[in-house]
């Protein structure tokens, strides 16, 4: 039975991040779900994704972009038959490590200087990327018009979620992982991706020369190939 492929988007994006990879995966016979990540808290987001996994019969392949890598890392190991993890410009956190800390594992990240904040009624803070800085920061390898649309439709993440420590169990310790990321990722530097992939014992690591933080959008073909590899034999 072919695994169901669950695609989880990260911060400052939405499920449309996966538009270009969905049809090719479906064409290979996979059921595909582009999950909506709440982006409110790491533990809460992981519970929501775990609940989705519990509803799926058969094997599941989890694919996390950016912050959603932190989320898939924290999926309950007993939620279902998770056969693989793909980190697409994604965080593979150690227990107790936050997304913010992982982005600083290597120099080169410039996200902090681009963020604008919105105070929330519950005392928390939402963060967005300043639309004027979105193209250069988030997706420099996309056309201007596409980047402008993504800047307007970006979904915010709470500051608390980015700084919340990962739980005590990292799913990549017991489930095989694959990594794909851009050489010029300004949110999570390539050096940080290399460290995370190495400590996770990744089955394959693909760095896309000149690519930005949005490899699933700007390089869907390469993304599809590594997801299909992780999904197993045709």
Would the pTM count as exceeding 0.85? Answer: yes
pLDDT tens column, 68-82 = 999 999 999 999 999
214 pLDDT higher than 60: yes
Closest CA to 204 of 83, 117, 79, 85: 85
Q: What's the pLDDT at 233?
A: 78
Residue 174 CB partners (closer than 8 Å, separation 6+) = 77
Other CB atoms within 10 Å distance of the CB of residue 146: 14
Pairing outcome for strands 59-65 and 4-8? parallel
124, pLDDT greater than 60: yes
Query: What class has domain 4-231?
Result: alpha beta
Domain borders along the chain are 4-231
DSSP 41-94: -HHHHHHHHHHHHHT--SEEEEEEETHHHHHHHTS-TTSSEEEEEEEES---PP
234: pLDDT confidence band, cut at 50, 70 and 90?
A: low
Which residues lie closer than 8 Å to 124 by C-beta, 6 or more apart? 158, 159, 160
What is the average pLDDT score of the chain?
98
Q: Give the per-residue pLDDT at 10.
A: 98
Q: What is the pLDDT of residues 142-183, one digit of tens each?
A: 999 999 999 999 999 999 999 999 999 999 999 999 999 999
Our CA angle for 105, 109, 115, nearest 5°, is 125
CA 182 to chain centre: 13
Residue from 196, 204, 224, 216 nearest 93 by CA: 196
């Amino acid at each position: 039975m072919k695994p169901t492929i669950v695609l989880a988007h990260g911060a400052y994006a939405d499920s449309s991040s996966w538009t270009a990879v969905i049809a090719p995966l479906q064409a290979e016979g996979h059921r595909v779900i582009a999950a909506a990540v709440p982006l409110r808290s790491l533990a809460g987001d992981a519970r929501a994704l775990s609940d989705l996994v519990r509803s799926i019969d058969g094997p599941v392949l989890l694919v996390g972009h950016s912050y959603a890598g932190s989320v898939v890392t924290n999926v309950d190991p007993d939620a279902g038959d998770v056969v693989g993890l793909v980190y697409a410009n994604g965080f593979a956190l150690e227990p107790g490590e936050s997304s913010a800390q992982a982005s600083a594992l290597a120099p080169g990240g410039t996200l902090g200087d681009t963020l604008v904040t919105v105070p929330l009624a519950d005392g928390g803070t939402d963060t967005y990327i300043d639309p004027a800085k979105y193209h250069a920061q988030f997706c420099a390898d996309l056309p201007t018009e596409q980047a402008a649309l993504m800047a307007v439709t970006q979904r915010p993440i709470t500051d608390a979620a980015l700084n919340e420590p990962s739980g005590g169990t990292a799913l990549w310790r017991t489930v095989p992982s694959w990594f794909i990321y851009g050489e010029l990722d300004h949110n999570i530097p390539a050096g940080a991706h290399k460290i995370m992939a190495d400590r996770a014992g990744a089955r394959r690591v693909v760095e896309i020369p000149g690519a930005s933080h949005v490899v699933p959008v700007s390089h869907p073909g390469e993304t599809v190939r590594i997801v299909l590899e992780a999904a197993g034999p045709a």
